[in-house]
Amino acid sequence: VRLAVIGTGLIGGSIALGARGAGDMDVVGFDRDPAATGRAAELGALDRAAGSIEEAVAGADLVVLAMPLDQFDESCRAAAGHIGEDTVVTDVGSAKAHPVAVGEELFGARFVGGHPMAGSERHGIEAADASLFGDAFWILTPTPATSSDAYRRVARLVSVLGAKPIALDPVVHDALVARLSHVPQLAASALVAVAASAGDREALLGLAASGFRDVTRIAASNPDLWVAILKSNRGAVIDALEGLRGTLGTVAELIAGEHWDDLHGFLARARSARLDLFAKPVHDGEPVALSLIVPDRPGVLAEVTTAAGHIGVNIEDLRIVHSTEGGRGRVELIIAGQEPAEKLSAALHELGYSVHLGEID
Cβ 4 to a second copy, closest distance in Å?
A: 26
Strands (E), 137-227: 137-141, 164-167
**Best CA proximity match to 52, nearest among 74, 26, 78:** 78
Cβ 104 to a second copy, closest distance in Å?
A: 22
CA dist 92 and 150 (Å) reads 16
Q: Which is nearer to a second copy, 34 or 285 (CB)?
A: 285
Q: Which is nearer to a second copy, 78 or 176 (CB)?
A: 176
Cβ 87 to a second copy, closest distance in Å?
A: 27
Cβ 70 to a second copy, closest distance in Å?
A: 11
Cβ 246 to a second copy, closest distance in Å?
A: 9
CA 193 to chain centre: 24
DSSP letter at 83 equals S
Q: Which helix (H) or strand (E) holds 277?
A: helix 260-277
Cβ 53 to a second copy, closest distance in Å?
A: 27
Contact 5, 18 (CB under 8 A): no
Contact 94, 233 (CB under 8 A): yes
**Best CA proximity match to 4, nearest among 63, 50, 53, 47:** 63
DSSP letter at 204 equals H
**Best CA proximity match to 342, nearest among 285, 278, 293:** 285
CA angle 20, 65, 125 (to 5 degrees): 55
Q: Which is nearer to a second copy, 83 or 355 (CB)?
A: 355
Q: Which is nearer to a second copy, 48 or 266 (CB)?
A: 266
Q: Are strands 355-359 and 287-295 parallel, antiparallel or unpaired?
A: antiparallel
CA 150 to chain centre: 26
Q: Which is nearer to a second copy, 81 or 326 (CB)?
A: 326
Contact 8, 46 (CB under 8 A): yes
Cβ 314 to a second copy, closest distance in Å?
A: 5
Q: Which is nearer to a second copy, 32 or 179 (CB)?
A: 179
Q: Which is nearer to a second copy, 86 or 264 (CB)?
A: 264
